Structure 1
Amino acid sequence: MPNLLMRLWSRALTYIDGFCGRYTVVAVEDLPDELQAQKVYAVGESGHYWLAALRCPCGCGATIQLSMIEGQRPRWTLTQRRARLPSLSPSIDRTVGCRSHFWLKQGVIRWCEARR
């Protein structure tokens, strides 16, 4: 019974975070064709993830894929506060398209200064 309550509480918190505009993590084995807004997809299996993906938060609709493979450069790290609110490190700096530059910290996008 406590396990069921914990799962229900976790789902309720995920719903609240989505309503508040925070990003949440979705663990998947394969990247879906269409990514949902405010979701970070951790792609891998058995708790070992090699790719993080999300829709660009600027609204351009581009899919951003970030390698999390150790030893590969560039490489990002995905961490979660209380197993819910994701942070990605280092910042995401798109050099093509919309040229967005931002951090994802504890489920919230933090924009970097505009390009000069």
Structure 2
Amino acid sequence: MKIVRWLRRFWDKHGPTRRLKIVEGDALPAILPRRDLILTRDDGDDWSVGMRCPCGCGEPIELMVLKEAKPRWDVRIDESRRPTLHPSVWRQKGCRSHFWIRQGRIHWCD
């Protein structure tokens, strides 16, 4: 198992970056992409960012970006559509993954 985790983290660091796709509406699609993140936007307002957990468990993660939401995340997108999220993502249930997303790359917290 440790080799699988090491390979996944190596791929996150050196593989292709994750991109952000924008969908209209206030709900995430039923099926999330394997690597990319989804930003839901309704009437010009950003609602949430969704993704599959990068640890490999594949569980969906939804992070609210709406200004009134608590907790909430800030999302920035660079010119190459690479997302940066702030603060970190820390799953409290399931796999308990803890990571940052910066310029489309996963940075794991140990």
TM-score by length of 2: 0.79
Query: For residue 9 of structure 1, what is the aligned residue in structure 2?
Result: none
Distance 2:57 2:38 in 1: 18
Residues 1:39 and 2:55 are matched in the alignment: no
Distance 2:80 2:74 in 1: 14
Residues 1:80 and 2:77 are matched in the alignment: yes
- Structure 1 gaps of 5+ residues are 1-19
Residues 1:69 and 2:90 are matched in the alignment: no
Structure 1 residue ranges, 4+ long, deviating more than 4 angstroms after superposition: none
Distance 1:83 1:46 in 2: 24
Query: For residue 17 of structure 1, what is the aligned residue in structure 2?
Result: none
Residues 1:27 and 2:19 are matched in the alignment: no
Distance 1:71 1:33 in 2: 24
1:45-94 C-alpha deviation (Å, 9 max, x unpaired) = 24421111000000101000001111321100110111511001100000
TM-score by length of 1: 0.75
Report percent identity of matched pairs.
39
- Structure 2 gaps of 5+ residues are 1-14
Higher relative contact order (CA 8 A, sep 6+): 2
Matched positions, count: 94
Distance 1:58 1:51 in 2: 20
